[in-house]
Amino acid sequence: MRRLIGLLTSALLSLLLLGGTAHAAYPVRDRALTANQLYRSGVLQDSRCTERPVKPNDVALAKRYLTTVFNCLTASWGAYFKRAGLPFTKPKIGFITKERRFCGEPWGEASGAYCPAEGRFLLLLDKNTLSDPGDLFLLDLVAHEYGHHLQQLTGINRAHGRHSYRGKSERNEQSRRSELQAECLAGVFIGSVWDSLKRTGDDWKFLLDLRRESGDEQAEVRDHGKGRNIAAWLDKGFHAVSPAACNTWTASAAKVA
């Protein structure tokens, strides 16, 4: 099962593991998290993004597909950041076919990982990831990792890393807020290009069903969110087409469980 679609790694994780515990972490009051400029600049404008052909277990086709979507993401989010008056640089993207250490950390279970220190993410194109590449999973995967880069550009990652917590439970909840936000931002992008994808409502429903089956219920560590919450935030971003819908930092604990 393609359980995880993304992971924020290394520098931020180190900050979380060493993070302060001197005071209560909740409610979250850091405005870099709760009132970031990312949320205050309207919708992501509709644009076109043509999906390239893909086949099961074909790495070359998958690379071409993901590179095309990556360029669409850069054009869309670059325009949004310009309109918002925010500095923008595109991330770097890379592909691997087997697990490896990245950004100073073991790979883990993820299909993708973003390294804040490098401004780069890697996507794992193995048999698990490419078993059914026509089901929107690849689109969600690259859009999710791009979401982590947006968090880096807007200071959300830094604020997340310095925020205190009271033990493992709160640390994992903060991780879930970050991951669910990246998933919501993926939904925002997909919603903005949906009309150009020539997809059906059934395609979207299938992706949501896939995400419901890929949550923390399948893992030992509760750091990404229950499947129903992953799907809910993805769908919320998709319909709102606005980062304002992705403020997970002010959401109730139940919505980020």
Condensed to tens digits (0 to 9), the pLDDT of residues 120-151 reads 999 999 999 999 999 999 999 999 999 999 99
Question: Stretch 187-214: mean pLDDT, rounded?
Answer: 97
Counting the structural domains of the chain, the total is 1
| Domain contains 100 | yes
pLDDT at position 29 is: 84
Measuring CA to CA, how many Å separate 206 from each of 50, 220, 238?
A: 20, 25, 14
Q: Is residue 65 part of a domain?
A: yes
* pLDDT the model gives residue 6: 64
Report if residue 2 sits inside a domain.
Answer: no
**Cα–Cα distance for residue pair 45/27, rounded to 1 Å:** 32
Within a domain: residue 167? yes
Dihedrals phi, psi of 245, to nearest 5 degrees: -75, -10
Q: What is the mean pLDDT of the chain?
A: 90
| Whether residue 208 has pLDDT greater than 90 | yes
Is 46 a member of any domain?
no
Task: List the one residue out of 204, 215, 156 whose CA is nearest residue 182.
Answer: 156
102, part of any domain? yes
Residue 152 lies in a domain: yes
Radius of gyration of the chain (CA): 17
Whether the per-residue pLDDT at 105 is higher than 50: the answer is yes
- By residue range, what is the domain housing residue 227? 11-22+34-40+51-256
Confirm whether 218 is domain-assigned. Answer: yes
For residue 108, name the pLDDT band (cuts at 50, 70, 90). Answer: confident
**Residue predicted with more confidence, 91 or 165:** 91
